[in-house]
């Protein structure tokens, strides 16, 4: 495949991830407005439940979506599901009850389920392993660019128009992506996969065998912990800025955007840096694990801001902690095929992504319950800190070559 076309497809994958995360996060911005909360009669617990709805179907359908992509390739499953999720996102505008709103978020999650398995499969099969950190970091950074762009944009659309108009514009406008995807993608996924697996150093690993590997369980636990922190930031950070730190709607949007821009920039740089070290002869697994652990440590500094009475300190550590987590972003995905290279590409990504998105259910609900029970955001942020410490232990103890099967 010509290099220019390959990078154009990467750009489309990144654009799809930006759109996906914009559609995930626009609800959390809407939930900071008094009009939206009053219209649907929401309290903290129902807000947490609503924020989790997307992830119920998204997490549950990861492995089925991975099987579909492994079986039928990336092109058409992605095009169809992308169209469906955009329509679901736009349909939020016509909801009039909590039940309808919850149902639309379930449909959005079902449509987006194909996103990561398809993207990770295509990248893994079309780029060599010593470029996975950079390309996967770039791809995963796009997930942070979505909220970085989306938070201020969504806040502006709500303020200038209305929350209903925001959902319509964000949903139907994104469908412009589909014809470009159809025009650029070929359907030769299976041929490329066979060439990769023919390399002598790779032995195919049956999907069922992954569940017997301590490495896979270490990756599952670590992915859960990484994303518990991320989904707190995605679903409750805007409310934290608005309610605990008393920022305006526009300021909430901009500061939420700053935190995710930081994560995106660091993710790209860290992926490139780790790849460079691997090409110089550093062990791929040890190098990527080091980046992951340091990223988790930096993310844990969010707790410093939580206990500070100063808004400036709190805002600094909100940005610094999520930016620091960017060290782990591309590397926590790149370490998986590095240590389990013979596993089926899309289903391996789907299994990791399922573990990564179960916290999308847990974090919003637990945060809402802790916040309503304690009256502040300190307890939810303490839960984030505990999860990050568990993640460090998981990657340090379990994700090692000697445990790979």
Chain-wide mean pLDDT for the chain?
87
What's the pLDDT score for residue 11?
Answer: 94
Across 228-255, average pLDDT: 84
Across 396-403, average pLDDT: 88
Please give the Cα distance from 376 to 251 (Å, whole number). 20
DSSP string, 204-234: ---GGGGGG-HHHHHHHHHHHHHHHHHHHHH
Stretch among 36-45, 107-116, 336-345 having the lowest mean pLDDT:
336-345
CATH superfamily, region 3-403 = MFS general substrate transporter like domains (1.20.1250.20)
Percent of the chain with pLDDT over 70: 94
Please give the Cα distance from 100 to 342 (Å, whole number). 43
Across 339-354, average pLDDT: 79
Q: Which of the pair, 302 or 1, is modelled with greater confidence?
A: 302
Specify the DSSP class assigned to residue 203. -
Helix axes 62-72, 75-91, angle to 10 degrees: 140
Q: Does position 93 have pLDDT exceeding 90, yes or no?
A: yes
What's the pLDDT score for residue 176?
Answer: 96
CB 264 within 8 A of CB 145: yes
Across 113-138, average pLDDT: 85
Interval 49-75: pLDDT, tens = 898 899 899 988 988 998 898 888 889
Please give the Cα distance from 322 to 266 (Å, whole number). 10
CB 170 within 8 A of CB 30: no
Interval 11-35: pLDDT, tens = 999 999 999 989 988 898 898 888 9
Give Cβ neighbours of residue 191 (< 8 Å, ≥ 6 apart). none
Percent of the chain with pLDDT over 90: 45
Sorting pLDDT into bands at 50, 70 and 90, what band is 188?
A: low
Sorting pLDDT into bands at 50, 70 and 90, what band is 1?
A: low
Domain boundaries, the chain: 3-403
Across 29-45, average pLDDT: 89
Across 203-210, average pLDDT: 72
């Amino acid at each position: 495949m010509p290099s220019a076309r390959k990078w154009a497809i990467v750009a489309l994958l990144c654009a799809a991830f930006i759109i996906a995360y914009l559609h995930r996060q626009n609800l959390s911005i809407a939930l900071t407005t008094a009009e939206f909360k009053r219209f649907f009669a929401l309290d903290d617990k129902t807000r947490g439940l609503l924020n989790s709805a997307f992830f119920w179907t998204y997490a549950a359908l990861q492995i089925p979506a991975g099987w579909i992509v492994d079986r039928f390739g990336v092109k058409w499953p992605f095009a169809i599901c992308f169209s469906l999720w955009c329509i679901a996102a736009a349909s939020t505008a016509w909801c009039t009850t909590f039940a309808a709103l919850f149902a639309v978020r379930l449909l959005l999650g079902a449509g987006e389920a194909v996103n990561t398995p398809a993207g990770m499969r295509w990248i893994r099969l079309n780029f060599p392993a010593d470029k996975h950190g950079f390309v996967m970091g770039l791809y995963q950074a796009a997930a942070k660019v979505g909220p970085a762009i989306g938070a201020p944009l969504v806040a502006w659309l709500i303020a200038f128009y209305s929350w209903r108009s925001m959902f319509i514009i964000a949903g139907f406008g994104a469908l412009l992506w589909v014809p470009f995807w159809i025009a650029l993608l070929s359907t030769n996924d299976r041929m490329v996969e066979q060439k990769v697996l023919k390399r002598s150093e790779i032995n195919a690993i049956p999907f069922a065998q992954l569940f017997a590997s301590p490495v896979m369980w270490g990756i599952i636990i670590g992915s859960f912990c990484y994303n518990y922190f991320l989904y707190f930031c995605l679903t409750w950070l805007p409310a934290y800025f608005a309610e605990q730190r008393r920022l305006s709607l526009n300021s909430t949007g901009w500061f939420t955007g700053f935190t995710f821009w930081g994560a995106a920039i660091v993710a790209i740089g860290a992926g490139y840096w780790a790849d460079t070290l691997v090409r110089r002869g550093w062990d791929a697994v040890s190098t990527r694990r080091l980046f992951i652990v340091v990223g988790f440590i930096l993310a844990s500094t969010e707790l410093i801001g939580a206990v500070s009475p100063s808004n400036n300190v709190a805002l600094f550590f909100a940005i610094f902690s999520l930016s620091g987590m960017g060290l782990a972003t591309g590397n926590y995905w790149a370490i998986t095929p590095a240590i389990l290279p013979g596993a089926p590409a899309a289903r391996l990504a789907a299994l990791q992504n399922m573990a990564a998105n179960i916290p999308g259910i847990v974090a919003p609900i637990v945060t809402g319950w802790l916040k309503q029970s304690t009256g502040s955001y300190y307890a939810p942020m303490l839960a984030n800190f505990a999860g990050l410490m568990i993640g460090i232990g998981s990657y340090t103890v379990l994700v090692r070559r000697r445990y790979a099967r």
